Structure 1
Amino acid sequence: MSEYRSYGYLTPGADLPVFDLAPEFGRVPPYSGELTEAEATRASRLLRDNIVISLHDHPVRFPSDMRHTPEYNRTGRQHTAFAGLMASEMTVVFDNMMDGTACVTGNAPWRWLDIITDLGMRQADIAHQDDVIVIRTMADIDHAHRSGKVGLLFGLEAATPIENEIDRLDVLYGLGLRQIGIAYSDANTLGSGLNETTDGGLTGFGRRAVTRMNKLGLAIDISHSSDRTGLDVCAASERPVFMTHAGARAIWDTPRMKPDDVLRAVAGTGGVIGMSAAPHTTLSHDHPRHDILSVMDHFRYCVDLVGIEHVAFGPDTLYGDHVGLHTVFGHLLKRPGGGPSYEKVEYVDGLENPTENFGNICGRLVREGLSDKEIAAVLGGNIRHALDGIWA
């Protein structure tokens, strides 16, 4: 493994500003999984032998003080956590870049130029090292697994930057994007987002966009879409649809979680539902203090509802203070409110960053008695199977 650090081909202070960034290891105490020696050995074997895919994460380092993030993002460069990724035991990460914090040229996100800058800068950095590769095809996934590399599959949480220009989907695909959401909190030309008081569903333009995404081989995500929009997308798409990072509203009743009909609709397309762990989202009444056990409550519910072949994990984590990020960017991210009261946490114990996530997830799956075949499916097999249908 090389010792390359992000943007190491540039001279700090001359070519780019220097920021005090969050560490890739040890920011918070390690999770105590309470595995027996046999369970730990089995979990390690399963991680080693199988393709492991995160359906949604941000594998980059943020400033140690999240208040410096707007200035940091203004440079157009987020620093990939190369060392953290190589220690993560993941094969592929669906990497959604700056997304709603991409305020490179202005004070609002989702601008076309900002997204293009983000996508280009990240890949320029990756091109200067050998441990992490960009995923564009199924062969790339298999290569990453065989060679012990980590693959980044680039995506966007919303198609807002295409505005009303459908050919921009082709441009994004050509620049390496392989997954895209419909809408984030606010509605756009494609459909309604989570925060809209009137749910208009998928627009006529949105239906044309879904058809183009299918033709291109762009995986579609409805995590931040409204309920009606999500159902409309599943009905319109001829390819599997992803819900990359959310949970079940039956377990925690907030707009950020999805109702049973939407979960079933995703599964009905042959798609996959990824369990999120963004702070204060996938809580549960059994575990209202958000940690890995809360997330597992959503996992078990979804498995019982739609079958294990349609469930995976999209933790939605990063390197830095995720709770602080929501505070700094709350006016832009507009996370929907409502729902039961809960105790706020400083971090989600067991699912705090991309390095530790899947070791702890696999340990929980082993501890809960899933078979090797079931665990292999959840770790990445289900996602790979869905991508076969999307990229065909």
Structure 2
Amino acid sequence: MLEPATRYTGYRSYGYLEAGADYREFKLAPELGRVPAYEGTALTGDQRERVRRLLTDNVVISLHDHPSVFPDDIRETVEYNRTGRHHTGYDGLARSGMTAVFDNFMDGTCCVTSQMGWKWSDVIADVGTRLSDIAHQDYLVKVERLADITEAHATGRMGLVVATEAATMIENEVDRLDILYGFGVRQMGIAYSEANALGSGLKERGDGGLTYFGERAVRRMNKLGIAIDVSHSGDRTSLDTIRHSTKPIFITHAGARTVWPTNRMKPDEVIRACAERGGVIGIEAAPHTTLSPAHPRHSIESVMDHFTYCVDLVGIDHVAFGPDTLFGDHVGLHDTFAGHLSIAEAHGHVEHPRVPYVDGLENPAECYWNITSWLVARGYSDDEVVKVLGGNIMRVLEEVWHQ
């Protein structure tokens, strides 16, 4: 069912430069067809047409993804990242059915000059280089206000929201938030697994909650209009952030700990607190995260077990999707950066089958076709589907972005 957007004309990243002369060239993973297509949801002809209509007529937003194209040999990723020149998966995005994507760039794997990631200069290099490429084409639109998303939808284009999973790189400089806002950052996490100057990450043995500096940073983000994320923050830090923020916050990519008992999932208390303040949880699909006892082999069915649980817990107005996918071998990427990303500490040691990819939610091109097909096949109404595909996110952004 994947079809290219009419506005996309085939641009490829850094087409204005000469590969091999201006930058180091890598053989990249295919954006389409890297793994077999998902065939688990059987639809009638009328249902397929309904899926197409829902994705075409409505604003569809991924609350969290990394739509970069990684090396075909995932072991080359460190050298690829060190060039500071990630390639955007334009062709895959054009076939995704999405109106906008929250793109989280390299994040903790950003090791342009440092081995450890999250350095200020490296994050600036990552964001600036990617935005330079985006500025050389006219299909993908840099989103800085709500109207950019609606305009992208109206003109057959797609919006990209610049986001980062943590505020670690601001160190103790709250004014750096203003600089990042000026670069176009419109969503930011508090901490990524490891504690920082703002608060605790979910890998830590103890969670001291949001620091006084963290409270200042939250207030500044509220004033600037930066949406706040607590996906990788500790439980107490998450609750403190929700309480101190004057605006609704996001859990952009997570699941329910009641369904799968690891730190990477959120407890009911945090999910409820987020929803009570008007926020939204995006259900994620990164490999070996949102598993379930009913579906311990990670697939779209495991992910949707978290979706249905969260809908029952807080209502359909507070649930969306943040698949957390990319173009390439995501499992191999986790293996490569296990230390940087605190995989073991975040995911715990609950036994489960390992998979080479998440069947049905392997990359950004296929996620929303398969999610929408799943919802249609199970009788969700158009209004319900429209809310979880993007309506709930737009409602929060309207308040957070001051527009």
TM-score normalized by structure 2?
0.96
Matched, 1:344 2:351: no
Matched, 1:384 2:394: yes
Aligned position for 1:320: 328
Report the secondary structure of 1:266's partner residue. Answer: helix
Aligned position for 2:198: 190
**C-alpha separation between the residues in 2 aligned to 1:390 and 1:24?**
33
Matched, 1:47 2:91: no
1:10 Cα deviation after fit: 0.6
Residue of structure 1 aligned with 2:34, choices 27, 31, 36? 27
> For 1:20-43, what per-residue CA distance to the aligned partner results, in whole angstroms no more than 9, with x for missing partners?
100111000000121222211111
Matched, 1:271 2:276: no
For the aligned residue pairs, the C-alpha RMSD in angstroms reads 0.7
Residue of structure 1 aligned with 2:25, choices 18, 30, 51? 18
Aligned position for 1:107: 115
Checking the alignment, whether the CA contact within 8 Å between 1:2 and 1:129 is kept in structure 2 is: no
1:98 Cα deviation after fit: 0.2
Residue of structure 2 aligned with 1:127, choices 117, 121, 135? 135
**C-alpha separation between the residues in 1 aligned to 2:17 and 2:35?**
30
The ranges of structure 1 where at least 4 consecutive aligned residues each deviate by more than 3 angstroms after the TM superposition are none
Checking the alignment, whether the CA contact within 8 Å between 2:42 and 2:377 is kept in structure 1 is: no
Checking the alignment, whether the CA contact within 8 Å between 2:187 and 2:227 is kept in structure 1 is: yes
Residue of structure 2 aligned with 1:8, choices 15, 18, 22? 15
Q: Which runs of 5+ in 1 are unaligned?
A: none
Checking the alignment, whether the CA contact within 8 Å between 2:64 and 2:103 is kept in structure 1 is: yes
Deviates most, 336-345 or 153-162 = 336-345
Residue of structure 2 aligned with 1:254, choices 228, 252, 262? 262
TM-score normalized by structure 1?
0.99
| Matches for 1:59-78 after TM superposition, within 5 Å | 59-78=67-86
Report the secondary structure of 2:159's partner residue. Answer: strand
Q: Percent identity between the aligned chains? A: 62
> For 1:316-364, what per-residue CA distance to the aligned partner results, in whole angstroms no more than 9, with x for missing partners?
0000000000000001111224253110000000000000000000001
Matched, 1:36 2:47: no
Checking the alignment, whether the CA contact within 8 Å between 2:200 and 2:233 is kept in structure 1 is: yes
**C-alpha separation between the residues in 1 aligned to 2:77 and 2:277?**
38
What amino acid sits opposite 2:400 in the alignment? I
Matched, 1:361 2:371: yes
**C-alpha separation between the residues in 1 aligned to 2:66 and 2:155?**
23
Deviates most, 157-166 or 264-273 = 264-273
Aligned position for 1:199: 207
Aligned position for 1:213: 221
Checking the alignment, whether the CA contact within 8 Å between 2:289 and 2:347 is kept in structure 1 is: no
Checking the alignment, whether the CA contact within 8 Å between 2:281 and 2:318 is kept in structure 1 is: yes
**C-alpha separation between the residues in 2 aligned to 1:293 and 1:89?**
20
